[in-house]
Chain A
């Protein structure tokens, strides 16, 4: 398929869509499916059969408000879309009658999510622009919204060098967490010597409480593929791999389908869009190891080995898969490529702050009212995210902290709620951007206990290669166990802090280096909670079960027995 053909496809699809009086979009991402989205289609199907010419039913990707699913959007020709929450089959039938088919369409008021709601208005959807609006399993739908035009543009009008420099100018930084400038990385791989090069998309989202990559792959798989193809062209690679967690069957299915569809149309494969550029993409399925999110471990896993990190340098950009220069970026990073190529670096760099450009997707979960997937411009304050978009705490509870960066990140307490969310500010607070999990905790959450939870995670996920991470995480977990059950002493706390520093400074890979972060940051802001557990054998949040005989009393008993004898 060449460029005019692509355009024709887009026009044809738009023409087709215009014929319908109404477009009914129903989220079919994992969260909504588990709340019963599939039964909606089953219910509506017989009715819609008769209205085939009139109403189009579109299974789409995520609309964002996952906590209130299933979500359904009704868009009458020439009108604003209306989003319904908690759509049951009965409600779906009612919507069909009163809103879609009635002469005077009347939305069912109390189930409609207002368009001017902060949850929507505070967001800037760049990467998720198509998510919830297109059918992820139809290439035509993606193309009708400008899909693959960025690839066409890059292939026809830009040199690989231009592409890299456009990215450098845009200020895009890696969305996997560390925030390395993407353009620089691409340029390094482009310049690296080697006949064979590889492009890898890291979709091994192991961070508990984060599902941005999953949603992007499920809702808009072609965007990821197009981003990768542009990367392939820019760095001179002919083979790409998407590494997806085995826990994400739907994402795998949709990516497979998307790759096949794109190959059939000549948008991937040999001679992409009738140019001299060849690019194949294969899927590699992860098998349940958090450490494989680390790039060297991920490459080991792609090569069929135990996912153990190796020491850098050499960096993957020089020597990666099978010793060849390899470009590894997060799935979300690839999602940012097409808008940058389409609308230009100047446009992109308007969004965000001086050092952190663009938008970031967060999975907002935990004890907030509106949990879901949000995309916000960099530099937005945490307060806006938690209280405006998230709707604040459940009545009767108060905000305590938000954890960003998952088990590698840290918590942000009330006094720092007005900090702008960008790479540097979060790091200064002892947390990190991470891949984008944002878990809100209220006054019923015990911080030492949360630290223990993360440490258990790190202990389970440690690959075992280096001593500080393998044994250190286990010993830190044991110390935290003593603290939370009330049997720890002041010495234990000192020991814990020392261990944190050892593990941070001497571990081999990023997983080990960052594993003490949850402890260090909770110690920084909630030290009194640790001390309460130790000195008063009390859990301030009332979460920990302190039943064991505290050490202090043991000492007293001993003292008394001495007296008696």
Chain B
């Protein structure tokens, strides 16, 4: 219970010394530690860490002086924020209306069957995350699949499945990513 606890100064930076927290500190400073900027800060946090960990949420709550349940409530309200690490590769299938009438549902079903994967989940080996989206705004190209950030459109469900298979087989870009992480 905070009331009975000794007064502790909230640390000005994260104790772990993880350099990534510097990015969050910068965002906090830019927003003058305003409580209104919670969503902005969470955006930065997710960009920096890939997903929102508990540790991260507590840090943000402490810095903005907000109750933890408040921060958790906001983070789970918006579908953009993820509390789980994403797979090596992500496949986003657009299920907007235009894509839907062009049978995007079949694309999801094929991928689901091939990798025995439910939308919103990641395969056990952490290779592939399947996500469904509500319109990515490229309706002219329906049905649209976004593979690791690249938009691919106007393909049959079978072609899309082939692409995903190829992507997963291309294996882990993890080495390259590690390299990238080290150098940056």
Binding site for B on A (CB under 8 A): 30-31, 33-35, 65-67, 69, 205-211, 214, 246-248, 284-290, 301-307, 363, 365-367, 371-373, 403, 406, 437, 439, 441, 445, 450, 453-454, 457, 460-461, 463
Tell whether, in the assembled complex, residue B98 and residue A371 are in contact, meaning their CB atoms are under 8 Å apart. Answer: yes
Tell whether, in the assembled complex, residue A66 and residue B141 are in contact, meaning their CB atoms are under 8 Å apart. Answer: yes
Tell whether, in the assembled complex, residue B78 and residue A67 are in contact, meaning their CB atoms are under 8 Å apart. Answer: no
Known: A289-B78, A453-B97. A304 touches B38 (CB 8 A): yes
CA distance A307 to B79 in the complex (A): 12
From 72 to 108 in chain B, residues with beta carbon under 8 angstroms from any chain A beta carbon are 73-74, 77-81, 95-98, 100-102
Taking each of B38, B98, B133, which has the highest tally of chain A beta carbons within 10 Å of its own beta carbon? B98
Tell whether, in the assembled complex, residue A34 and residue B150 are in contact, meaning their CB atoms are under 8 Å apart. Answer: yes
Binding site for A on B (CB under 8 A): 34-40, 42-43, 73-74, 77-81, 95-98, 100-102, 133-142, 144, 150-153
Tell whether, in the assembled complex, residue A303 and residue B98 are in contact, meaning their CB atoms are under 8 Å apart. Answer: no
Give the residue name and chain of the A residue nearest to B151 (CB). A34
Tell whether, in the assembled complex, residue B140 and residue A288 are in contact, meaning their CB atoms are under 8 Å apart. Answer: no
Tell whether, in the assembled complex, residue B140 and residue A247 are in contact, meaning their CB atoms are under 8 Å apart. Answer: no
Q: List 28 A-B contacts (CB under 8 A).
A: A30-B137, A30-B138, A31-B138, A34-B138, A35-B141, A35-B153, A66-B138, A67-B140, A69-B141, A207-B135, A208-B95, A208-B97, A209-B98, A211-B135, A247-B80, A284-B40, A285-B43, A287-B78, A288-B81, A304-B38, A304-B39, A307-B77, A363-B139, A365-B142, A366-B102, A371-B142, A445-B101, A457-B134
Known: A287-B39, A288-B79, A366-B101. A208 touches B138 (CB 8 A): no
CA distance A372 to B137 in the complex (A): 11
CA distance A289 to B73 in the complex (A): 14
Tell whether, in the assembled complex, residue A30 and residue B151 are in contact, meaning their CB atoms are under 8 Å apart. Answer: yes
CA distance A162 to B37 in the complex (A): 36
CA distance A403 to B80 in the complex (A): 27
CA distance A120 to B144 in the complex (A): 26
| Chain A residues, CB < 8 A from B34 | 304
Tell whether, in the assembled complex, residue A206 and residue B134 are in contact, meaning their CB atoms are under 8 Å apart. Answer: yes
Give the residue name and chain of the A residue nearest to B144 (CB). A34
Give the residue name and chain of the B residue nearest to A302 (CB). B36
Tell whether, in the assembled complex, residue B139 and residue A287 are in contact, meaning their CB atoms are under 8 Å apart. Answer: no
CA distance A31 to B94 in the complex (A): 14
Tell whether, in the assembled complex, residue A450 and residue B101 are in contact, meaning their CB atoms are under 8 Å apart. Answer: yes
Contact of B139 among A35, A66, A206 (CB under 8 A): A66
**B153, chain A: closest CB distance, angstroms:** 6
Q: Other CB < 8 Å A-B pairs besides A35-B153, A208-B134, A371-B98, 17 of them?
A: A30-B137, A34-B151, A34-B153, A208-B98, A209-B98, A211-B139, A246-B43, A247-B80, A284-B39, A287-B81, A288-B78, A288-B79, A290-B134, A305-B74, A365-B139, A373-B140, A437-B139
**A130, chain B: closest CB distance, angstroms:** 20
**A171, chain B: closest CB distance, angstroms:** 29
Contact of B42 among A35, A206, A287, A372 (CB under 8 A): A287
| Chain A residues, CB < 8 A from B98 | 208-209, 365-366, 371, 439
| Chain B residues, CB < 8 A from A33 | 151
| Chain B residues, CB < 8 A from A363 | 139
| Chain B residues, CB < 8 A from A35 | 141, 153
Contact of A247 among B43, B133, B139, B152 (CB under 8 A): B133
CA distance A441 to B102 in the complex (A): 10
Tell whether, in the assembled complex, residue A301 and residue B135 are in contact, meaning their CB atoms are under 8 Å apart. Answer: no
| Chain A residues, CB < 8 A from B102 | 366-367
| Chain B residues, CB < 8 A from A450 | 101
CA distance A546 to B38 in the complex (A): 47
CA distance A77 to B18 in the complex (A): 57
Tell whether, in the assembled complex, residue A371 and residue B139 are in contact, meaning their CB atoms are under 8 Å apart. Answer: yes
**A281, chain B: closest CB distance, angstroms:** 15
| Chain A residues, CB < 8 A from B77 | 289, 306-307, 463
CA distance A69 to B142 in the complex (A): 13
| Chain A residues, CB < 8 A from B134 | 206, 208, 290, 457, 460-461
Give the residue name and chain of the A residue nearest to B31 (CB). A304
**A191, chain B: closest CB distance, angstroms:** 27
Tell whether, in the assembled complex, residue A372 and residue B140 are in contact, meaning their CB atoms are under 8 Å apart. Answer: yes
Tell whether, in the assembled complex, residue B137 and residue A247 are in contact, meaning their CB atoms are under 8 Å apart. Answer: yes
| Chain B residues, CB < 8 A from A69 | 140-141
| Chain B residues, CB < 8 A from A365 | 97-98, 139-140, 142
CA distance A209 to B81 in the complex (A): 23
CA distance A209 to B77 in the complex (A): 23
Tell whether, in the assembled complex, residue B141 and residue A285 are in contact, meaning their CB atoms are under 8 Å apart. Answer: no
Taking each of B80, B137, B138, B151, which has the highest tally of chain A beta carbons within 10 Å of its own beta carbon? B137
Tell whether, in the assembled complex, residue A437 and residue B42 are in contact, meaning their CB atoms are under 8 Å apart. Answer: no
Tell whether, in the assembled complex, residue B140 and residue A31 are in contact, meaning their CB atoms are under 8 Å apart. Answer: yes
| Chain B residues, CB < 8 A from A301 | 39
Tell whether, in the assembled complex, residue B150 and residue A248 are in contact, meaning their CB atoms are under 8 Å apart. Answer: no
CA distance A67 to B114 in the complex (A): 29
CA distance A201 to B81 in the complex (A): 23
CA distance A301 to B96 in the complex (A): 23
Give the residue name and chain of the A residue nearest to B140 (CB). A66
**A97, chain B: closest CB distance, angstroms:** 28
CA distance A396 to B48 in the complex (A): 51
| Chain B residues, CB < 8 A from A66 | 138-141
Contact of B136 among A247, A403, A445 (CB under 8 A): A247
CA distance A163 to B136 in the complex (A): 36
